[in-house]
Structure 1
Amino acid sequence: MDNASPDPSFEDSLHALERIVEKLENDPPPLEEALAFYEEGTAHATDCMETLDDAEQRITELSLDDDA
């Protein structure tokens, strides 16, 4: 049985990214902790961009299907 957790939703990743940005802006942590937050934020941003790219591709494909 696969125990891997499912990928977070777009909304979950976006909210996590917003919390990280808020934390870094409002209460800057020590450098090492800030780097860890930055790394985590980068991963969430990548997840969001991939989801948006996939959605754009699906919309393009649906638009092409409508034109056929």
Structure 2
Amino acid sequence: MADDVTSLSFEQAIAELEQVVTRLDSGDVPLDESIKLYERGAALKAHCEAKLNDADAKVRQITLDAKGQPTGTTTPEGA
């Protein structure tokens, strides 16, 4: 497991989160390791949510013409 979740892509973080959940669901993990896995899973979840929020914000900035075709992006407020 990489220590820094911020360096992971969304896909890498989701894959690792799935591995964490599978290990925790197995019930064969000692308590101390379960706690570490849970903490790692929480960090991965937060990272994935941040990535999704960033993607959503970018999609919301796409402007469409009357035919629904992308024409560019709006300038974010405060930029």
- Residue correspondences, number: 61
Q: CA deviation at 1:42?
A: 0.6
Q: TM-score scaled by structure 1?
A: 0.80
Structure 1 runs (4+) deviating above 6 angstroms are: none
Q: CA deviation at 1:30?
A: 1.4
Match of 2:43? 43
**1:2-32 superposed Cα distances (whole Å, 9 cap, x missing partner):** xxxx711000000000000000101431111
Q: TM-score scaled by structure 2?
A: 0.70
Task: Using the aligned pairs only, state the percent identity.
Answer: 31
Q: How does 1:1-68 map to 2 (within 5 A)?
A: 7-62=7-62, 65-66=63-64
Mapped partners of 1:19, 1:46: distance in 2? 16
Bigger Rg, structure 1 or 2: 2
Superposition RMSD in Å: 1.8
Mapped partners of 2:28, 2:21: distance in 1? 10
Structure with the larger helix share = 1
Structure with the larger strand share = 2
Mapped partners of 1:58, 1:28: distance in 2? 41
The aligned amino acid for 2:57 is Q
